[in-house]
Amino acid sequence: MSGDWFRDARGWLVHVAPGLLVRTVWRGAFRAGRWFVVRGVPGVARFVGLAVVGGWWLARCLGRYLLAYREYGPLVRELEVEAGRAHRAKTAREAWRRAAYRRLCLVGGVLVGLVGGLAVLGDRYGAWVSWAAWSTLAVVCAAVGRARRPARPRADVVAGSVLVPNEPFPIADAHTRGQAADCVARAVAAEGIELRGVEGARRTPWGWEAAVVLKRGTPAGLVAKVAELETTLDLPSGGVLAAPDRGRRARVVLRLAERDPFAGLAVAPDRAAGSLSIKDAHVVGARMSGDDLRLSLYGVHAVVIGGPGAGKSQTMRTLADAVSACADAVVWDLDPAGNGLEVLGGGVERVEREQAGIEAALADAVAMAQTRPKLLTRLGMGDAWDASPERPAVVVFCDEYPRLSDQAKALAVDLIRIGRKSRVTLVLAASEATSDALGAAVAEIAALKIMHACRHADVRLVLGANMIGEGWRPDRLNPATGEAPEDAGVCFVHAAGSRDPILNKIRPVPAGRARLNGPRRAAQGLPRIDADSLAGARPVEDSVDRVAVVDVLAVFGSDDRLWTDTVLSRLATVDGRYAAWTAEDLAAVLVPLGVRPGQVKIGNRNRNGYRRAVLGDAWDLYRGGR
């Protein structure tokens, strides 16, 4: 029995086992080869493709960073095309070269450090370090490529649901540009609007952007359907923005915001005193497209409209903060119903809160605007006032315009009509733009219009009756309510270089930082309006040197009384015009106010001097009586 078993086993090992082993190995090899061909090769190819896509994207980002084009290119191009800006264009080009050189040195140093570190590790631990580094780089590039080019789902299935032919579906279910274009086409067709096609759908950080080409009708018909499209595409309220192409009437750009396009927006940059020029456009916000919002107030009158909670006051603060940091401009603050730009403190050259003072300030501004053109030839300035630290521009910020007196409103309209060439400009703010609150002349003449959340009628009065059909819909924005910020600070801006209905958001200036910047800028010395302009602004019958009186009050600081020689010594540090003043000169300036020197006791000594309370009361009485 045992012998038979042994013979059978030996026969199986000799005759059967080799064939079975060969067949098993052959089948295993065949199946492994087939899996590699069917699954492995495409997988490796896809990995390599994603790594190439990710590497190319990273290389483009690195190239854009090294060239610094986004920061300097548009600015240099703008300066080159504008007349009289050759010097600034040259300065900007030099700054561009320096920035690119610094970035090249930085990136080059980092790369050299990495290569050197890998070489040292390779010498110490062997070639596997290099393989590990290259493998890590390939995995990173593939991951980036996967993020930039998501997996393509089946054409008939999106998010696990079968698409019904011609039936619209939510934009959130679109994962590729083709699907997004198809989604938009179906949604627009569902609203009864015929299209020739959808062009250039692209993904953005906040959603999708696609251009549709109308087959018939007008862009206004599509703009009127944005609320319905939000429902069809399952987007938040205000999530659809339509901007007709001004160069091609049949083309309308749709921006589909699935999330807040301004989430995480940084505050306004902190500017040192005298670091800016009023002649330049300054960054005050961000555009939905990702570009900076740059605005200029150099000879540009502005109107800011926004209901309560819309961010109107913050916009005024941001604009005024930029102007007060200019070495060739001063800020005036007029507000008949609130605290205006109080947080800027000493950064504001003139503050008026009472109706009489506001009327006086606007009268001075109008007189200055009338006087400066007469000085252009003598000063060799050409056709318009050339602002400088010695002869600064004046920007008058006036909040709560509807609450001004009739005389102040008339002066404001006069200033808007004549102040551009004199560089005496007005920035008006109002909660609404009804014809009785904001005259048609103001809205039509102002070159810069900032529209926060407001009423439908406000858009027509400020921008024009046809602008709503062109996509300008600030009436669809929501002001802040309670603790919810909603669209506070978000606005539409109509100005030179910004003629498309695209959302913008003003970068806020924190109140704490503004309170610190004001005293710093005042301590460094604000620009002073030149005597020639002031001579024209001050009526002949008015013998009070307003600037000198303001300076005298300023030098008191926290002291309630000062001797005459102390006042004179402090004045000499404020402006060179006071360096040669005597006690008689100081007394002559204050006599028209009814203020005369008297005995002032400081410590144990009595000497001639002045009390701040007496001078302040006389100054308030003078301004209130004008």
Q: What is the pLDDT of residues 157-185, one digit of tens each?
A: 444 444 455 688 899 888 888 889 999 99
CB atoms within 10 A of CB 597: 17
Same domain, 238 and 354: no
The CATH number assigned to the domain holding 438 equals: 3.40.50.300
Query: Is 454's pLDDT higher than 80?
Result: yes
Same domain, 119 and 168: no
* Cα 604 from Cα 84, distance rounded (Å): 61
Same domain, 143 and 161: no
Q: Give 545-556 as a DSSP string.
A: -HHHHHHHHHHH
> In this predicted structure, what is the pLDDT of residue 294?
92
* Cα 359 from Cα 365, distance rounded (Å): 10
Give CA angle at 242 (239, 244), nearest 5°: 170
Domain boundary among 457, 491, 521: 521
Domain holding 124, by residue range, is 35-148
* Cα 193 from Cα 254, distance rounded (Å): 14
- Rounded to an integer, the average pLDDT of 298-310 is 91
Give CA angle at 291 (285, 293), nearest 5°: 30
Same domain, 383 and 456: yes
Query: Is 541's pLDDT higher than 50?
Result: no
Helices (H), 126-244: 128-148, 177-190, 219-223, 226-232
SS3 content of the chain, % helix, strand, coil (to 5): 50, 15, 30
- The domain tally of the chain equals 4
Q: What average pLDDT is seen over the chain?
A: 81
- Rounded to an integer, the average pLDDT of 583-607 is 84
> In this predicted structure, what is the pLDDT of residue 507?
92
Q: Is residue 527 part of a domain?
A: no
Same domain, 291 and 172: no
Same domain, 100 and 225: no
Place of tokens 């086409």: 185
Count how many Cα atoms sit within 13 Å of the Cα of residue 605 in the half-sphere of its side chain: 5
* Cα 183 from Cα 169, distance rounded (Å): 6
Distance in Å from the first CA to the final CA of the chain: 136
Q: Is the distance from CB of 173 to CB of 159 less than 8 angstroms? A: yes
- pLDDT tens, position by position, 318-342: 999 999 999 999 999 999 988 889 8
Beta bridge partners of 202: 209
Q: Is residue 531 part of a domain?
A: no
Domain boundary among 223, 242, 257: 257
Query: Is 418's pLDDT higher than 50?
Result: yes
Q: Is residue 532 part of a domain?
A: no
Q: Which of 310, 311, 319, 363 is nearest to 341 (CA)?
A: 319
Domain boundary among 222, 257, 292: 257
Q: Is residue 25 part of a domain?
A: no
The CATH number assigned to the domain holding 547 equals: 1.10.10
Same domain, 475 and 579: no
Count how many Cα atoms sit within 13 Å of the Cα of residue 371 in the half-sphere of its side chain: 17
* Cα 289 from Cα 503, distance rounded (Å): 8
Q: Is residue 277 part of a domain?
A: no
- pLDDT tens, position by position, 215-265: 888 888 888 888 899 999 998 888 899 988 888 888 999 999 988 888 888
Q: Is residue 486 part of a domain?
A: yes
Query: Is 394's pLDDT higher than 90?
Result: yes
Same domain, 315 and 353: yes
* Cα 366 from Cα 413, distance rounded (Å): 10
- pLDDT tens, position by position, 395-405: 999 998 888 88
What type of residue is 579? Answer: A
Q: Cα 131 to chain center, whole Å?
A: 46
Same domain, 398 and 328: yes
> In this predicted structure, what is the pLDDT of residue 533?
85
> In this predicted structure, what is the pLDDT of residue 77?
65
CB atoms within 10 A of CB 109: 10
* Cα 154 from Cα 482, distance rounded (Å): 46
> In this predicted structure, what is the pLDDT of residue 27?
65
Same domain, 142 and 163: no
Q: Is residue 453 part of a domain?
A: yes
The CATH number assigned to the domain holding 179 equals: 3.30.980
Burial 325-361 (b: 16+ CB within 10 A, else e): bbbbbbbbbbbbeeebbbbbbbbbbbbbeeeebbbbb
Query: Is 116's pLDDT higher than 90?
Result: no
What values do phi and psi take at 125, rounded to 5? -110, -5
Q: What is the DSSP letter of 383?
A: T
The residue ranking higher by pLDDT, 83 or 105, is 105
Same domain, 237 and 317: no
* Cα 557 from Cα 613, distance rounded (Å): 12
Pseudo-torsion of CA 128, 129, 134, 136, nearest 10°? 110
Same domain, 514 and 480: yes
Q: Is residue 30 part of a domain?
A: no
> In this predicted structure, what is the pLDDT of residue 160?
41
What's the longest Cα–Cα distance across the chain? Answer: 143
Q: Is the distance from CB of 405 to CB of 356 less than 8 angstroms? A: no
